[in-house]
Structure 1
């Protein structure tokens, strides 16, 4: 429940932040009459995300077991790629996001009647991107964790993000975006490492990856998956009591590269060796 909540809180907050900046700018520049276009963009984006999620879930349910494992692996890899990109994009863009959006709005309104579609398109793309990313995250998390509280956690995350977005729009909330995205970004990289290792495991179960399958250690007697703590660790960190060599290498390798890039000072180039690996 915690992972879907935090992922949807962050994803929803990114979308709410962008929409909030657009709505605030429209209000401050006397263009409040154009707010219905913002809602149209939100509605279209949410509809697309829900349809995509329903379609992926329906398609996966029709697969035989081996193909389901392959689908789980592919969804996991896509989710890891999107999570990683999201963390580093927001780390870079949070500072200048307001200026970029308001500049784009000014340019759209300078083109006469085209601003109608431009405004809808800006909101649609912002919300749809976060919505489609969320679909892949949630599918990956739901497939690797059978917790019944996961959907509730995701819903609560969306609701909290909407409340924060509304408070931001009303001017009653001043959020330190740099610290928020840094803390949640670090946490999400840990989640992504677990998803990556779980996807490697799914590839093995699909029969497509059979290398380095020796079990590194066995914690089944110490921390079984069917205990509350085991389930919590599995949901948050991708814990598995009997990891193979390939799973452990995938987990630690991803985490080492991601954390190195995450903590590397902005404005400085990575070492040549790290850049070549990335």
Structure 2
């Protein structure tokens, strides 16, 4: 499945970019002795993310059917919010992320006796942010697409991100980060639109949303969601073969607004760009 792979790849590269910039700056300024603090923060963040995901999954298994649908709707809505915030945050932060992190490292190491904890905290919050965002997205995807394909795809995305992170850190490759984040951002917004439509479906099945239930089109005979192509489209874009008017409106309006805001040029973008273009950590 492409959606879990690409989103985990993007999340992993964002986390690797932040930790790589910090680690590279420490190495370049002769402060490599502080590197273990970065890895401690990373491991703590990964542990928190895994614990949170397991706890939410176990909690949802105890719910009755309607409560389960409501829980899935809440998780899906949270996933939409974090996906959109992730896309727009990186669009804004990428311009100055390197200089901001360098300044934060200098401040952390200048604090008497607090350098270790400050560096652990920087790495922890950078990775935990991406990890917790990923947890809500993956829960929403796993609920919509049961089976091993989605987890394996997500693990593959994380694995590729780790490899690219090390390659960036050691200077072996260059990535056009501006283009990468731009096109994966568009893809993520399309995925988020599908998740938002599925939230309305879950709310209807939970008995909380009964408006705009007229079927817009019915492709159950041509492209059923149970078929191979329908399953692939459902896994990637949350495709549904017979969407209601409410789901279609939510999908179109959400995508029109977010894509317009995301793709419109920012004033002074070219002059201020720092980590965009062929960037090397």
Q: TM-score range by the shorter chain?
A: over 0.9
Matches within 5 A, 1:87-102: 87-102=87-102
CA distance in 2, matches of 1:210, 1:5: 34
String of CA shifts for 1:174-216, please: whole Å, max 9, x gaps.
1111111001000000000000000111000000000111111
Q: Which structure 1 segments of 5+ residues have no match?
A: 269-278
Distance in 2 between the 1:180 and 1:95 partners?
A: 14
Task: Give the corresponding residue for 1:272.
Answer: none
Deviations 1:100-147 (A, max 9, x none): 100100111111211111100000000001000000000001111224
For the residues of structure 1 that align with 2:263 and 2:130, how far apart are their CA atoms? 24
How does 1:111-122 map onto structure 2 within 5 Å? 111-122=111-122
Partner of 1:175: 175
Is the CA contact (8 Å cut-off) linking 1:212 and 1:246 kept in structure 2? yes
Query: By how many angstroms is 1:233 displaced?
Result: 1.1
Q: Shift of the alpha carbon at 1:95?
A: 2.0
After the TM superposition, which of the residue ranges 160-169 and 89-98 deviates more from structure 2?
Answer: 89-98
* Superposition deviation, residue 219 in structure 1: 0.5
Deviation at 1:235, TM superposition (A): 1.4
Aligned counterparts of 1:252 and 1:236: Cα–Cα separation in 2: 17
Match of 1:10 in 2: 10
- Say which is worse superposed, 237-246 or 130-139, in terms of deviation: 237-246
Q: Distance in 1 between matches of 2:144 and 2:169?
A: 36
Is this contact kept in 1: 2:3–2:237, CA < 8 A? no
The whole-number CA distance in structure 1 between the counterparts of 2:254 and 2:232 is 21
Q: In 2, are the aligned partners of 1:194 and 1:237 still within 8 Å (CA)?
A: yes
**What is residue 145 of structure 1 aligned with on the other side?**
145
TM-score (norm 1): 0.95
Contact 1:95 1:178 in 2 (8 A): no
Residues in 1 aligned to 2:238 and 2:222: alpha-carbon distance in whole angstroms = 16
Q: Deviations over 1:217-249 (max 9, x none)?
A: 110001011211111111122211111111001
The CA deviation string for residues 87-110 of structure 1, in whole angstroms up to 9 with x for no partner, is 011111112111110010011111
So what's the TM-score if we normalise by structure 2?
0.94
Residue ranges of structure 2 left out of the alignment (5+ in a row): 269-281
Asked if the contact 2:10–2:184 (Cα under 8 Å) also holds between the matched residues in 1, the reply is yes
Q: Which residue of 1 aligns with 2:278?
A: none
